[in-house]
Structures are given as structure tokens and as C-alpha cells.
Amino acid sequence: RDVERSRGLGDVYKRQCMDYAHVELGSMFHDLTYNNMMRMISGKRYYGDESQIKDVEEAKEFRETVAEMLQLTGVSNKSDYLPFLRWFDFQNLEKKLKSIHKRFDTFLDKLIHEQRSKKKQRENTMIDHLLNLQESQPEYYTDKIIKGLILVMIFSTVFEISYIGLN
């Protein structure tokens, strides 16, 4: 967290040194929050300066999936009120949600597999701790449980950021 905070403050300082100007902090706090969360989960950064991101394509995919998910939060599903519309997937919501689900599932499978393959050089991340627990209690800490816990962390951050953005 200190590293991400220092990076954010360094960016503000660089912008301020050039000239006195208004600094838009909303996007910087957004990046800081997501990077803190994802570094706790996987040890990786997905937002901010692309020169400091290890896998740019993976980061781009993550950002796009989160953005699509944010667009669907709070969408009123008309088929909840008119059940016969479910037969037609009137607003294409089911198709979009299945697509997001598949993308997140693939993304998380890749993260878990990547951390599992680093068995000897594991870091201090949530996935690593859960994989250690999986070794001692494989019947309880399945990959599905691990993915579910990660999604809870991601979704709670998404909803917290979107709530703060509204206020």
C-alpha cells in the first residue's frame, strides 16, 4: 500500500511541479484503490502508467471487464417486472452477464494457475495464502471457493468506488 500511495503522490507532485493547476484526484484515487486491492489479491498492478504494468494485455482485459460490469450495475431489468420477456432476453442483459462471467472466470483461473506454478517463490498475497490453505484442506478450499472470495473482494471494491463516485 505504501508503494501505491508513494506512486500516487509522486504523480501529483510531477503535475504540480510543471505549473500550478487543478489536479483531478478522482481517477487517481480510483487507480490507487484498484491497484491496492489487486496487489493484495494477486501482487499485480492493473491501473495507472502502463510502463509500470507487467502484463499490459492482462491489465487491459481486466479494466475492460470491470468497466462493463460497472455499466450493468443498477440496470433495471425489465424482465423482472414482465416475466415473459425472459424468453427473449429483451435487453441482452443475460448474454452480457454470461460474457462477463466467462471473462472473469478465465481471468481468475489464469491468476490462480500462475500463483500455483510459483510454488517456491510465492508472495504474500491473498491467492497464495488461499492456495496454502488449499494444500492442507483441499475439500474446503477448492478453486471455486478461492475464485468466489476473490470476486467478493473485486465486487466490493467496484461498488464502493461507484458509490463514492456518486456522492
In our burial notation (b when 16+ CB lie closer than 10 A, e otherwise), range 20-52 reads eeeeeeeebebbbbbbbbbbebbbbbbbbeeee
Compute the CA torsion angle 111, 112, 114, 119 (nearest 10 deg).
150
**pLDDT tens digits, one per residue of 84-124:** 888 887 788 888 989 999 999 999 999 999 888 887 776 78
Asked if pLDDT for residue 37 goes beyond 90, the answer is no
Asked if pLDDT for residue 49 goes beyond 60, the answer is yes
Residue 105 CB partners (closer than 8 Å, separation 6+):
147
| pLDDT the model gives residue 52 | 65
CA angle 104, 110, 116 (to 5 degrees): 135
| pLDDT the model gives residue 102 | 94
When pLDDT is cut at 50, 70 and 90, the band that residue 166 belongs to is: very low
**pLDDT tens digits, one per residue of 7-27:** 555 565 555 555 666 666 677
How far is the C-alpha of 144 from the C-alpha of 123, rounded, in Å?
21
| pLDDT the model gives residue 149 | 93
Q: Please tell me what DSSP assigns to residue 84.
A: G
**pLDDT tens digits, one per residue of 51-75:** 567 778 888 898 898 888 888 877 8
